[in-house]
Amino acid sequence: MSLAPNTETSGAPDAPPAVALDGNGEEQAGASADARQFISFQIGEQEYGVDIMAVREIKGWTTVTKLPNTPEFVRGVLNLRGVIVPIFDLRCRFGMGATEATKLHVVIIVTVRERTIGILVDAVSDILTATADQIRPVPEMESEQKEDFLDGLVTVEERMVALIALEGLFDNKLVAAATSAVADVSTTD
């Protein structure tokens, strides 16, 4: 899998937040009452998490049917037991270029605002438990585009996991905006 050439943007989140969170890494305790669980997955070197309550199922990548005139990060639709489910390429959504999907890639089916969608990721790694105070806000960054769909950051065993706000990521209104944004990214470099 090749990362897209525009590494400035993809590399950016790693450095500053990792420093910021190092001091808090030891706070991990047993699951308390307000603990939330996340499914963590990987895109390239980076680890992300989605709220486990939103996850419906996890399945291997299969061929999808392309939708015409949609942004590049919309990979297409697939048949999930009779329901047509759109699949979004998260790597591409983050502006890191399209994923060259193989059978080893994973689609996480999630429910966002009563819609069922799939997100294409490299691999699913773990189930995390984090209490509210373990979740750190996302530091201000230059790339505005990304902040909208990050919910917070959490450190697990020295790894930093970025929690994804699905609502922000695939809100319908944002799809249109993202379309132009993606077009900008792909045309500017």
Positions that interact with other proteins (CB under 8 A): 63-72, 76-79, 81-86, 115-117, 172, 175, 179, 182-183, 186-187
Q: How far is the CB of 29 from other proteins (least distance, A)?
A: 38
- Which of residues 49 and 118 has its CB atom nearest to other proteins in the complex? 118
- Which of residues 36 and 91 has its CB atom nearest to other proteins in the complex? 91
Phi, psi dihedrals of residue 68, rounded to the nearest 5°: -70, 150
Q: How far is the CB of 113 from other proteins (least distance, A)?
A: 10
Q: How far is the CB of 145 from other proteins (least distance, A)?
A: 16
Long-range residue pairs from 45-49, CB within 8 A, at least 24 positions apart, any chain:
45/14, 46/10, 46/13, 46/14, 46/162, 47/125, 47/159, 47/160, 47/161, 47/162, 48/90, 48/121, 48/161, 48/162, 48/163, 48/164, 49/128, 49/154, 49/161, 49/162, 49/163, 49/164
- Which of residues 39 and 185 has its CB atom nearest to other proteins in the complex? 185
Q: How far is the CB of 15 from other proteins (least distance, A)?
A: 29
Residues 76, 66 contacting (CB under 8 angstroms): yes
- Which of residues 134 and 145 has its CB atom nearest to other proteins in the complex? 145
